[in-house]
Amino acid sequence: MQKKMLFLTFALGACCALPSVAPAAPGAKGEIVKTLEFTDQNGQNSVVLRLTGEFARPEDRPESDANRAEHSRELFAECFVEKDGQQKQAWRVYDFIHGCPFQLRLGFFPDLAAVTDLDRDGISEVWLPYYGACQSDITPPGMKIIMYEGGQKHAVRGEAHHPEVPDSGRYQADAAFKKAPQSFRRYADELWQKMLKAESQLDYNTM
């Protein structure tokens, strides 16, 4: 199986004043999947989840007699914070499948995206669960939870479950999660179980 899945996330510093309606970073692509609005100690927050359709990048190989066409798809989550009349981009998640000649799977679990304040410190936690794969066999899609509390990123990475793939459905928490409050780790584990169930019910043929 050919897999070209890279995970990139990075925090952006304060940059530029942005309009208060439908915030979008320069170059933002894709359709809005969901918007999360909440207020915490940092100010008024808007998190916008976006997902592109399948498209061909200039470097993606076109279809030929010898090769299937390659396609790409990208997802974004951008957090904008407004405080004292100033709006800034706090962080951005960017992930993608590029150059996929097989079944391209990429998407959020929008119903499972959530905002909490489990440790009650006044800074909300934003939970972003999604899946992605370039699939040519029964290997389950990768799944990931990105969680931001303020500017601190946490990540859980693993794969969906497939009954014919031993040990599938497991995940690994990153170092930030390992030293986070137990309530965060418990929530991540419960969220992962919900993602496994949601993924098993996805109808990829209609997506």
Q: Which residues bind Ca ion (CB under 5 A)?
A: 117, 119, 121, 123
* Residue with smaller CB distance to Ca ion, 119 or 174: 119
Query: Which lies closer to Ca ion via its Cβ, residue 40 or residue 74?
Result: 40
Please say which residue, 77 or 147, places its beta carbon nearer to Ca ion: 147
- Closest by Cα among 67, 76, 63, 65 to 106: 76
Please report how close the Cβ of residue 125 comes to Ca ion at its closest, in angstroms.
5
Torsion of CA 12, 17, 19, 25, to 10 degrees: -30
Q: How far is the CB of 118 from Ca ion (least distance, A)?
A: 6
Complex with Ca ion: residue 60 or 117, whichever CB lies closer:
117
Nearest distance from C-beta of residue 113 to Ca ion, angstroms: 17
Inter-residue contact 78 to 25 (CB < 8 Å): yes
- Per-residue tokens: 17: 């004043």
